[in-house]
Amino acid sequence: DGGITQSPKYLFRKEGQNVTLSCEQNLNHDAMYWYRQDPGQGLRLIYYSQIVNDFQKGDIAEGYSVSREKKESFPLTVTSAQKNPTAFYLCASSATRRRRSYEQYFGPGTRLTVT
Amino acid sequence: AQSVTQLGSHVSVSEGALVLLRCNYSSSVPPYLFWYVQYPNQGLQLLLKYTSAATLVKGINGFEAEFKKSETSFHLTKPSAHMSDAAEYFCAVSDRDTDKLIFGTGTRLQVFP
């Protein structure tokens, strides 16, 4: 059963701590994305990766870091430098334009609360 | 650069009434367009997509959308609302150079009995 998994569903951290959010996909997709969602706002792109060992900053990359060591995995680290980290984080994946497929498939999300 | 505008952050309808959620886009090239639905505390689910084939696109749960190039619109409709349609809906346009999707700010649909 193919899909995207994110863990954990809910995460609580103290201010000043780094935290890593997991994202795994078994869809054999080349591209993966991280979004942040705040109440009343749309999705804002944090980072994206079109191929293993390569990634690009999105619109709000400051205070975040990623890695893409494996095609299936794209973990996101929220660092202590992120000034307002409490949010709902969504991971997505897509086949590349080479395969003429642009739609993104989303995981269930991780709600991060920092106090 | 591509952009998406969703008119109306909140839409309320009665059960059984027509659902109309508006989306206008700007794109310098023929776009790929998408509608997603999000239920509370869940990820986004693809409702339907337009990829330059038929201009009237049918999706899941009885939804459909019509691509109108002259109006740069891709409005989402459903003839008869159901209570289970209450959710947030996002319109998105593809950036073909980067594989990114550009999302609108979303429309929350409420359905009253």
Separation between Cα atoms, residue A46 and residue A42, nearest integer Å = 13
> Is there a contact between B105 and A42 if contact means CB atoms under 8 Å apart?
yes
Count of positions (residues) in chain A: 115
Give the nearest partner residue to A42 out of B34, B42, B103, using CB atoms.
B103
> Is there a contact between B99 and A41 if contact means CB atoms under 8 Å apart?
no
Give the nearest partner residue to B96 out of A97, A106, A107, using CB atoms.
A97
Mutate to test the interface with A, among B32, B48, B101, B108 (most CBs of A within 10 A): B101
- CA of A60 vs chain B CAs: smallest distance (Å): 14
Locate A32 and state its tokens: 């993966």
In B, which residues are within 8 Å of A61 by CB distance? none
In A, which residues are within 8 Å of B42 by CB distance? 108-109
> Is there a contact between A42 and B34 if contact means CB atoms under 8 Å apart?
no
Query: Could you tell me which residue, A20 or B2, shows the higher pLDDT?
Result: A20
Rounded to the nearest angstrom, the gap between the alpha carbon of residue A6 and the centroid of all alpha carbons in its chain is: 9
DSSP state for residue A53 in the 8-state scheme = T
User: Which of A8, A10, A1 has its CA nearest to residue A105?
Assistant: A1
| AA letter at B100 | K
Indicate if the pLDDT at residue A4 is higher than 60: yes
Indicate if the pLDDT at residue A5 is higher than 70: yes
Separation between Cα atoms, residue B104 and residue A100, nearest integer Å = 22
In A, which residues are within 8 Å of B43 by CB distance? 4, 6, 90, 92, 106-109
Separation between Cα atoms, residue A48 and residue A51, nearest integer Å = 9
> Is there a contact between A45 and B100 if contact means CB atoms under 8 Å apart?
yes
| Residue pair A109/A10 in contact by the 8 Å Cβ criterion | no
Peptide bond into B30 cis (omega under 30): no
**How do residues B51-66 score in pLDDT, each as one tens digit?**
877 889 999 999 999 9
| CB-based burial, A1-27: b 16+ in 10 Å, e otherwise | eeebebeeeebebeeeeebebebbbee
Residue A101 pLDDT grade (very low, low, confident, very high; cuts 50, 70, 90): low
> Is there a contact between A97 and B101 if contact means CB atoms under 8 Å apart?
no
**How do residues A48-98 score in pLDDT, each as one tens digit?**
998 999 999 999 999 999 999 999 999 999 999 888 999 999 999 998 766
In B, which residues are within 8 Å of A109 by CB distance? 41-43
Indicate if the pLDDT at residue B94 is higher than 90: no
> Is there a contact between A43 and B90 if contact means CB atoms under 8 Å apart?
yes
